[in-house]
Amino acid sequence: MDAQEQAKGMHKKKAWAILGSVCAGLYLFGVWIGPWLQHHIWGMDRIVQAIEENNIDAGAYYYTEIEGAFEGQQYLSQTLQTMAPEHYGYTLPFISGIVACLLILYFGMRALPR
């Protein structure tokens, strides 16, 4: 086995490892991290409660043109607006979130190979 075949085998192993870790990460987010964050993000408990009370199919929420999705979106928007209107607009958490995203993009782009 020459060096080129050996390198090709290592690339396959690395590709499978990346695919497996991405699948595991998605699973972890959907099963454990997402439900944990539900209780730590402002207003998320209220949104989940509204979705469950109104029997909204959250999986089809953005993918269908059904009347129930439109009514659910309006209900959730009104719920958020009446909960705490001071959290809307250019607040410190909003601006710091944008800055954090820009920093992640900047450092991510610098880390890419040339």
pLDDT at 21: 93
pLDDT at 66: 64
pLDDT at 91: 80
Cα distance between residue 79 and residue 17, in whole Å: 43
pLDDT at 86: 64
Predicted structure pTM score: 0.43
Mean pLDDT, 10 residues at a time, over the chain (114 residues)?
68 88 92 84 78 74 62 74 66 88 92 79
- For the chain, which residues make up each domain, given as ranges? 1-40
Please identify which residue in the block is written with the tokens 């991405």. Answer: 22
AA letter at 92: L
Q: Is 58 in contact with 30 (CB distance < 8 Å)? A: no
